[in-house]
Structures are given as C-alpha cells and as structure tokens.
Chains A and B, each alone.
Chain A
C-alpha cells in the first residue's frame, strides 16, 4: 500500500526542499546580486511562487498536472539533482576532502540518495519529520550565536546595487524552483485538505529562514564563494576560549539536510516519470534516474541553459489541467 504523508511530514519535507540550498552556495549568490539589502531580493524571488499558488493552488488540490508537464518536470528535477550533487560535492571537496577525487564524493552522495529514495516516501517523510526541525532549529540558533559579529549597517543602502542586480539577479528567481513539488504533493497526502496549510506554513517558514541566513551572511561582511556560507557563519561563533571550533559538528547536520533534499527530489523525479509514461513503480526507477543525475556530463553540457529552465518552473504550475484518476 502506498504511504501517504501526514501534514507534519509534508511541512517538514517542503521546508527542507526549499531551505537545503542554504547549506550550499545560495546565500553567496544572493549577496552577490544584492550587495546590501538582500531582503528585497529574497522577497522578490519568493513572491512569484506565492502568486502562482494563489492562482492555481485550489486547482492543484483537485487535479494532477498533464503528462507532458510531468515529463518536463522530471527533466527539470533530474537536471536540478545533478547540479546539487555536484555543487555539494564540490563544496565539500574544496573545504575538507582535498585529496579525494570528486567522483568519489559524488558516488557517495548518489549512493545515499538512491538508497533512501528507493525506500519510498515513508522513509523520506519520517526522516524529514525527525531531522528537519532539529537541523533548522540548530541553524537558527547558530546564526543567533554568531550575531555579535554582524554589522547591520552593511544592509544599507536600502536598494543595494542596481548594476550587480542586473548582472547576477535573474538566476536567483529559480532558487525556490522546488516549489514545483507543491503541485505534485496533493496525491501523496493523507488528507488533501491539508495541502493549503502545508503550503502556507512551509512557504512562510522557508521564507523566514532564507531571510535570516542571507541577511546574516551580508551582515557578517563575507565575500567568498569558496566556502559554504553557513559554515563561514558558524566559524564566527566563539564563546570565551573554551567554546569555539564547533563548526564540524554541525556540518553533519547540514549534510543530512542535503541528503534528504537529494533523496526527496530523486523520489519526485521518478514519480513524475512514472506518472507521465505510465512506467510501473517509481522505486525501481531510482537507480537509473539517480545515475543519470550523477552523470558528470550533464553538468557541463547544460550549465548555460539552466537559469532559463529554472525560471520556466514558476510558469509550469499554470498549465495544470484536468486529469482523470
């Protein structure tokens, strides 16, 4: 019997899908485009998804997306998976595993996500229900502890840099691209009526978390794309001489969050493929789709097209059409 997500699990799953990027280089990308007041850009990036949901949310509760749309979503999610695997593997390699070849780190990440997603929605939902509140509570706590090193004046001038925004801003609209998964969520929910409250709760919490971490990164005055921004923030924490160098402990938590993100994306990618082509059980697809995602050429081939594909993901929910189940 297919497992259905409880409301709580759905909320945590979506929070993790939207916020796991905080443990990649995303806060740096926001800072690069905003220079100062990153809050405006975070709001501008999240707002289209909210508007699309207000337009199509009620419909998505009753109908499933069409087969072509599902196929395109599959392609997008697989591509997205590939990028995230490589980004995280690259960051980890740069920071800790200098001598480890990147294929090895990618292999480890891919093996983990393939295994977890092959266990199905039950495993992902329950792991999210357990780890996500812990990870993001710790994340908020750590940012609070690093607060004394922040300079709030760095958030001004209010409108940031127009030049930087024009140069680096467009790609940011795709950052909450995982919002597309909201429209795949109703069929896997225990109670479809929870859909709206799952959206509003997880979307607002994710927005606030995004805002806190990105603002902190700007206020800390960092300007490096080499180290994970969240890791840089934690390195600032110093409580007297006895409580410092605690960063590595929390790296494990962040890795769990990224693992869960990858597993969930892989699961939904496989589900989209099954629904669009009518191919049996999504669990059997995790290995081939996961392997495609970890395939290195994908990253090299499509790097220039990704921003455009990602922006399209805001538009896809508008094409949700009636589908007899």
Chain B
C-alpha cells in the first residue's frame, strides 16, 4: 500500500500541469507557414484530414486535395495577429510547426530588424526557412504539390539547400546569428525561383541574381551536384567543401574546392571574382571575411573598432578540382 501511494505521488505531477495548460490535439491547428507584409500576416494552416490521406477518394477535386489552408489577418503586430487568428478559425493555432516565413519585398526593403524578436522566440524553431516574395499571400496560396501530403516534408524538400543550385536557403538560426545574410527571393508562380537580397545588420544592401547566388554557393562550398555551361557545352559541377581563404596584406587569396570537369575552371573563377568585386564595391562581407580576422585581435572592443573596408581588398582566386 505504501509503495502504491509513493508511486502515485511520483507519477501524479506528470498529469497535474494539464489543469492549466491542457490542450487537446483535436482543438489545435498547426501553422505551417507565415507570410508577413506591411499591416498584415497570412497564416497557412495544416488541414489534418488531408494530411491523413482520407481525401484520396475525392481525387477529382485536386485543388482541395492539398493539405494547407490560408488565413489573412490585418494587424501590424505578429503576436496580436496570431491571437486574432484564433478568433477567425474554430481551433487554437499553434506556431511550433512553422516551417516557412515569407517576407514581402516591401518589408525586406525596409529591413527585417523588427523580426528578430519573433524569430528568436520559443514559438518559431531555428530550422524554419526564411524567404522573400513579392506578395506573400499569393505566394503561399501558389504553393501546392500533388507529390506530398505532408506539408512539413514538402517545405523541407522545397527549401533545403540540397535540391537547388540558384537558391540558397536561409534558416531562422542563420538569420539571427550572422551579421550579413543572403535571404532568398521566391517567385509568385510557386516554388523557389532563385536570387536573393543581401541583408547587413538586417537591412538590405544589395540584390543578387540567380546566377550570382550560384557563384556565391560555390564560394561558400555548398553547391550540390549541378549543371554548368562553359565553352558551349554543359558540364557537371559540385562544391562540397568550404573555400580556403588566406590574407596576404590587403589581398585575399581564395582556393575553391570543386569536383567536375576542369573545363569549367575559367568561367567559374571569373564568375566568382565578379561577384566578389561587386560585393566589395558595396562593402558587403558576403563570405564573412571580417570574422576571419578575429584572431588578430585580443578583445571584442578592439575588433569592433577595427574598420574593415572591403573596398580596399583585392581578390585572387584559384580553383582546385578533385
């Protein structure tokens, strides 16, 4: 009897918190993507019945077969918008499964500093992908795939770095922990189109075309196996190791690690150098070169007071093929 009472006392706290924070799975709906624009937020919710696959019987209604549903809330504040969402739908919205955060181009052009608090909170996971679209609402509505029932997997496949060459994914963790980031731009026709906006201290400083993003990924060493045109022929190219960067005074020497045909060498190094020169002109530290100089300083104060001007740096590139 004594043992039974002890066991009950030990186990009971596990259930007690539900007095206040109890949430039935039935009462919840999960937000999979959020679109942010000036004065409004679009929440894309998962439709559990469609995810479970019960809709197969209605295969004729293709539009309804997809597992996401969008609701737009007109509100400046994200948290207030999330609260208002609950009054628009019959369930309680949960943000813990957000996989994608889409910013409108207008918002991105004004800077995304205000979103740091939202993205660093407990609600949004560090692995959530960030992107920019002309109109987030239209963009989210355009997302549909007959291949995936599970929206989380759909977003993972669509936005991860592994499947794309002209698009570099950005997660909430990267956005928060880096000074200069490249936020990808997506087209309203659906999926990810490539290209991106470079943000410095969360403010936009320059735009990159899809081809420039391609070279940026070569420089960073995270380009998956892709195709590249050189000398009128198409070759395979891959870069899976980070570039080796060393400084000789004001000259940065960069060694690219590539695999594929060496005939691409000239065009690749030319494209990468052009990109570096373009970013250097605007003093944009896309490769985080300043942080490579940290070891030369003893204190944070000395490092912060160091005026690192990329415009004074020249680049020499070399490509090494496996």
Contacts and interface: CB of A to CB of B under 8 A. Distances in A.
Do chains A and B stick together as partners? yes
Interface of A: 35-36, 94-101, 104-105, 108, 111-112, 115, 149, 151, 153-154, 156-164, 220-224, 226-227, 232, 235-236, 238, 241, 244-245
Interface string B144-164: 000000001100110010000
Interface in B294-308: 294-295, 297-303
Contact of A162 (B19, B127, B156, B301): B301
Question: Does more than half of chain A's interface fall in helix, strand or loop, or is it mixed?
Answer: loop
A153 B300 CA distance: 12
Contacts of A36: 294, 300
The 6 closest A-B pairs by CB, nearest first: A221-B177, A156-B294, A161-B300, A100-B20, A157-B297, A241-B156
B294 A157 contact: yes
A164 B300 CA distance: 10
Contacts of A101: 20
B13 A241 contact: no
A95 B21 CA distance: 12
Given A235-B126, A241-B156, A153 B292 contact: yes
Contacts of A95: 122
Interface residues of B, number: 35
Contacts of B16: 104, 108
A223 B120 CA distance: 9
Contacts of A160: 299-300
B303 A157 contact: yes
A24 to B, nearest CB: 16
23 contacts: A35-B300, A94-B122, A97-B17, A100-B19, A100-B20, A104-B20, A111-B13, A115-B9, A115-B10, A151-B291, A153-B288, A154-B291, A157-B295, A157-B300, A157-B303, A159-B298, A222-B177, A223-B176, A224-B120, A232-B126, A236-B126, A238-B127, A245-B125
Taking each of B10, B21, B288, B299, which has the highest tally of chain A beta carbons within 10 Å of its own beta carbon? B299
B249 interface: no
Contacts of A163: 301
Contacts of B127: 235-236, 238, 244
Given A105-B17, A223-B120, 19 more contacts: A97-B17, A97-B21, A104-B16, A104-B19, A151-B177, A157-B297, A158-B298, A159-B298, A159-B299, A162-B299, A162-B301, A220-B173, A221-B173, A221-B176, A221-B178, A235-B125, A235-B126, A236-B173, A241-B157
B121 interface: yes
Contacts of B301: 161-163
Contacts of A162: 299, 301
A238 B78 CA distance: 26
A321 to B, nearest CB: 41
B177 A157 contact: no
A161 B303 CA distance: 10
A236 B128 CA distance: 11
Nearest to B153: A241
Contacts of B302: 157
A245 B96 CA distance: 10
B128 to A, nearest CB: 11
Contacts of A238: 127
A39 B300 CA distance: 15
Contact of B21 (A94, A99, A236): A99
A105 B16 CA distance: 10
Given A221-B176, A227-B122, A153 B20 contact: no
Interface in B270-322: 288, 291-292, 294-295, 297-303
A100 to B, nearest CB: 4
B299 A161 contact: yes
Nearest to A108: B13
A280 B21 CA distance: 42
A302 to B, nearest CB: 28
A99 B20 contact: yes
A9 B16 CA distance: 31
Contacts of B152: 241
Nearest to A227: B122
A112 B21 contact: no
Contacts of A99: 20-21
Taking each of B127, B160, B176, B303, which has the highest tally of chain A beta carbons within 10 Å of its own beta carbon? B127
A268 to B, nearest CB: 22
A232 B176 CA distance: 13
A112 B127 CA distance: 35
A156 B120 contact: no
Nearest to A36: B300
Taking each of B121, B160, B177, which has the highest tally of chain A beta carbons within 10 Å of its own beta carbon? B177
A275 B176 CA distance: 52
A28 to B, nearest CB: 13
Nearest to B16: A108
Contacts of B177: 151, 220-222
Nearest to A111: B13
A226 to B, nearest CB: 7
Contacts of B121: 226
A66 to B, nearest CB: 38
B20 A157 contact: no
A151 B181 CA distance: 15
